[in-house]
Amino acid sequence: MKKQAMFLTAIAAVALLVYSCGSGTPPPAADAPAADSSMTAPAQASSQTPTDETKGMGKFAEVKLTDPLDQTMVTSGKSTYEVKCAACHKLSGEKLVGPGWKGVTERRKPEWIMNFVTNTDEMIDKDPAAQAMLQECMVRMPNQHLTDDEARHLLEYMRANDGKK
Protein backbone atom coordinates (compact mmCIF):
# COMPACT_ATOMS: atom_id res chain seq x y z
CA MET A 1 0.00 0.00 0.00
CA LYS A 2 2.68 2.42 1.00
CA LYS A 3 4.75 1.53 -2.01
CA GLN A 4 1.81 2.20 -4.23
CA ALA A 5 1.25 5.60 -2.66
CA MET A 6 4.87 6.47 -3.18
CA PHE A 7 4.69 5.37 -6.78
CA LEU A 8 1.66 7.58 -7.35
CA THR A 9 3.38 10.49 -5.66
CA ALA A 10 6.36 9.87 -7.86
CA ILE A 11 4.23 10.03 -10.98
CA ALA A 12 2.68 13.26 -9.79
CA ALA A 13 6.04 14.80 -9.07
CA VAL A 14 7.46 13.75 -12.41
CA ALA A 15 4.38 15.10 -14.14
CA LEU A 16 4.97 18.45 -12.48
CA LEU A 17 8.55 18.46 -13.60
CA VAL A 18 7.64 17.58 -17.15
CA TYR A 19 5.09 20.35 -17.11
CA SER A 20 7.54 22.93 -15.95
CA CYS A 21 10.30 21.77 -18.26
CA GLY A 22 7.99 21.37 -21.23
CA SER A 23 6.88 24.99 -21.20
CA GLY A 24 10.46 26.10 -21.69
CA THR A 25 10.15 28.69 -18.90
CA PRO A 26 9.60 28.21 -15.20
CA PRO A 27 5.90 28.07 -14.32
CA PRO A 28 4.37 31.36 -13.23
CA ALA A 29 4.33 31.77 -9.47
CA ALA A 30 0.57 31.48 -9.14
CA ASP A 31 0.54 28.03 -10.78
CA ALA A 32 3.10 26.47 -8.51
CA PRO A 33 1.84 23.75 -6.17
CA ALA A 34 1.11 24.76 -2.61
CA ALA A 35 4.01 22.93 -1.03
CA ASP A 36 6.44 24.35 -3.53
CA SER A 37 8.38 27.05 -1.76
CA SER A 38 9.51 28.60 -5.02
CA MET A 39 6.21 30.45 -5.24
CA THR A 40 6.89 32.67 -2.27
CA ALA A 41 10.03 34.46 -3.23
CA PRO A 42 11.70 34.07 -6.58
CA ALA A 43 15.39 33.52 -6.04
CA GLN A 44 17.47 36.49 -7.02
CA ALA A 45 20.23 35.62 -9.38
CA SER A 46 23.33 37.57 -8.55
CA SER A 47 25.47 39.32 -11.10
CA GLN A 48 28.19 36.91 -10.08
CA THR A 49 26.26 33.92 -11.40
CA PRO A 50 28.91 31.60 -12.77
CA THR A 51 29.00 31.01 -16.51
CA ASP A 52 30.27 27.46 -16.07
CA GLU A 53 27.17 25.23 -15.97
CA THR A 54 28.80 22.75 -13.63
CA LYS A 55 29.03 25.47 -11.01
CA GLY A 56 25.28 25.90 -10.72
CA MET A 57 23.42 29.18 -10.27
CA GLY A 58 23.86 31.67 -7.50
CA LYS A 59 26.27 34.14 -6.12
CA PHE A 60 29.30 31.86 -5.87
CA ALA A 61 31.34 32.04 -9.06
CA GLU A 62 34.67 31.19 -7.49
CA VAL A 63 35.26 29.40 -4.19
CA LYS A 64 38.80 29.31 -2.87
CA LEU A 65 39.57 26.05 -1.11
CA THR A 66 41.92 25.74 1.82
CA ASP A 67 44.85 23.39 2.00
CA PRO A 68 45.09 21.93 4.53
CA LEU A 69 41.50 21.95 5.79
CA ASP A 70 40.51 24.75 8.13
CA GLN A 71 39.62 22.82 11.29
CA THR A 72 37.66 25.76 12.78
CA MET A 73 35.42 25.74 9.72
CA VAL A 74 35.07 21.97 9.89
CA THR A 75 33.88 22.16 13.50
CA SER A 76 31.44 24.95 12.78
CA GLY A 77 30.20 23.10 9.68
CA LYS A 78 29.60 20.00 11.76
CA SER A 79 27.35 21.84 14.19
CA THR A 80 25.33 23.37 11.34
CA TYR A 81 25.06 19.89 9.82
CA GLU A 82 23.66 18.50 13.04
CA VAL A 83 20.99 21.20 13.41
CA LYS A 84 19.94 21.80 9.84
CA CYS A 85 21.02 18.90 7.60
CA ALA A 86 21.31 15.64 9.52
CA ALA A 87 17.56 15.08 9.51
CA CYS A 88 17.75 14.25 5.82
CA HIS A 89 21.39 13.55 4.90
CA LYS A 90 23.60 10.76 6.16
CA LEU A 91 27.36 11.11 6.11
CA SER A 92 27.64 7.75 4.38
CA GLY A 93 26.57 7.16 0.79
CA GLU A 94 23.17 5.95 1.89
CA LYS A 95 20.11 7.96 0.85
CA LEU A 96 17.77 9.04 3.66
CA VAL A 97 15.41 11.79 2.50
CA GLY A 98 18.17 13.34 0.47
CA PRO A 99 21.34 11.72 -0.89
CA GLY A 100 24.14 10.62 1.42
CA TRP A 101 27.05 13.00 1.52
CA LYS A 102 29.89 10.54 0.94
CA GLY A 103 31.73 11.62 -2.19
CA VAL A 104 29.67 14.75 -2.79
CA THR A 105 32.79 16.91 -3.08
CA GLU A 106 33.99 14.58 -5.84
CA ARG A 107 30.66 14.65 -7.70
CA ARG A 108 30.07 18.41 -7.52
CA LYS A 109 32.21 21.48 -7.80
CA PRO A 110 32.56 23.54 -4.60
CA GLU A 111 30.70 26.41 -6.30
CA TRP A 112 27.79 24.09 -7.19
CA ILE A 113 27.50 22.94 -3.57
CA MET A 114 27.65 26.48 -2.21
CA ASN A 115 25.09 27.69 -4.73
CA PHE A 116 22.80 24.74 -4.10
CA VAL A 117 22.70 25.14 -0.33
CA THR A 118 22.17 28.91 -0.46
CA ASN A 119 20.08 29.31 -3.63
CA THR A 120 18.11 26.11 -3.26
CA ASP A 121 14.87 27.03 -4.95
CA GLU A 122 16.32 28.43 -8.14
CA MET A 123 18.73 25.51 -8.38
CA ILE A 124 15.94 22.95 -7.99
CA ASP A 125 13.86 24.80 -10.57
CA LYS A 126 16.57 25.22 -13.19
CA ASP A 127 19.76 23.26 -12.67
CA PRO A 128 19.71 19.94 -14.55
CA ALA A 129 21.69 18.05 -11.91
CA ALA A 130 19.47 19.37 -9.10
CA GLN A 131 16.36 18.48 -11.07
CA ALA A 132 17.64 14.98 -11.59
CA MET A 133 18.13 14.65 -7.83
CA LEU A 134 14.55 15.84 -7.22
CA GLN A 135 13.24 13.08 -9.47
CA GLU A 136 15.14 10.61 -7.35
CA CYS A 137 14.28 11.99 -3.91
CA MET A 138 10.77 13.34 -4.51
CA VAL A 139 11.15 16.00 -1.81
CA ARG A 140 12.39 19.47 -2.59
CA MET A 141 15.34 20.25 -0.38
CA PRO A 142 14.14 22.80 2.17
CA ASN A 143 15.84 26.13 1.87
CA GLN A 144 17.53 26.19 5.28
CA HIS A 145 18.58 29.83 4.93
CA LEU A 146 22.26 29.27 5.53
CA THR A 147 24.47 32.32 5.73
CA ASP A 148 27.40 32.46 3.33
CA ASP A 149 29.71 31.55 6.19
CA GLU A 150 27.56 28.61 7.27
CA ALA A 151 27.58 27.34 3.69
CA ARG A 152 31.32 27.64 3.42
CA HIS A 153 31.87 25.87 6.74
CA LEU A 154 29.52 23.12 5.66
CA LEU A 155 31.55 22.66 2.48
CA GLU A 156 34.66 22.28 4.59
CA TYR A 157 32.89 19.67 6.70
CA MET A 158 31.83 17.80 3.55
CA ARG A 159 35.45 17.81 2.38
CA ALA A 160 36.56 16.44 5.71
CA ASN A 161 33.86 13.79 5.45
CA ASP A 162 35.29 12.87 2.06
CA GLY A 163 38.70 12.32 3.59
CA LYS A 164 40.41 15.55 2.50
CA LYS A 165 43.17 16.64 4.79
Partner 1 sequence: MKRLSLMLGLVAATAAMQSCKMKTAATAVQGDAASKTYVAPGKYDEYYNFVSGGFNGQVSVYGLPSGRLLKVIPVFSVFPENGYGYSEETKAMLNTTNGSIPWDDQHHLDLSQTNGEQDGRWLFANANNTPRIARIDLTTFKTMEILQIPNSAGNHSSPFITENTEYVVAGTRFSVPLGSEDVPISSFKENFHSTASFISVDKNSGKMDIAFQIVLPGMNLDLSHAGKGPSHDWFFFSSYNTEQAYTLLEVNASQKDKDYIVAVNWKKAEEYAKAGKGKKVSAPYAHNTYDEHTQTATSVIENEVLLLDPKDCPDMVYMIPCPKSPHGCDIDPSGEYIVGSGKLAALIPVFSFSKITKAIGDKQFEGDFKGIPILKYESALYGEVQKPGLGPLHTEFDGRGNAYTSMFLSSEVVKWSLKDLKVLDRAPTYYSVGHLMIPGGDTKKPAGKYLVAYNKITKDRFLPTGPELAQSAQLYDISGDKMQLVLDYPTFGEPHYAQACAASLIKDKQVKFFDINKNKHSYVAMGEKNAKVVRQGNRVDVYMTAIRSHLTPDNIEGVYVGDEVYFHVTNLEQDWDIPHGFAIKNNPNAELLIMPGETVTLKFVPEKQGIYPFYCTDFCSALHQEMSGYLRVSPKGANVPLKFGTGETAETVAAK
Binding-site string for partner 1 from residue 98 to residue 137, where x marks contact by CB under 8 A and - marks none = ----------------------------------------
Smallest separation (angstroms) from partner 1 to the CB of 131: 14
What does the DSSP 8-state code read for residue 86? T
Which residue blocks in the chain are alpha helix, DSSP H? 2-22, 71-80, 104-107, 110-118, 120-126, 128-137, 148-161
Helix axes 2-22, 128-137, angle to 10 degrees: 160
Please state, in angstroms and rounded to a whole number, the distance separating the CA atoms of residues 28 and 50.
Answer: 25
Q: Return the residue of 15, 18, 45, 97 that touches partner 1, per CB under 8 A.
A: 97
Contact string (CB under 8 A) for partner 1, positions 10-29, x = contact: --xx--------------xx
Q: Report the distance separating Cα 57 and Cα 128, nearest Å.
A: 11
95 secondary structure, DSSP code: B
| Bridge partners, residue 95, by sequence | 89
Applying CB under 8 A, does 45 fall inside the site for partner 1?
Answer: no
Contacting residue, 17, 63, 69, 88, with partner 1 by CB under 8 A = 88
Mark the segment that binds partner 1 (CB under 8 A) among 3-11, 51-59, 63-71, 107-115.
3-11
Give the binding site for partner 1 (CB under 8 A).
2, 5-6, 9, 12-13, 28-30, 34-35, 37, 40-41, 82-84, 86-88, 96-97, 138-140, 142-145
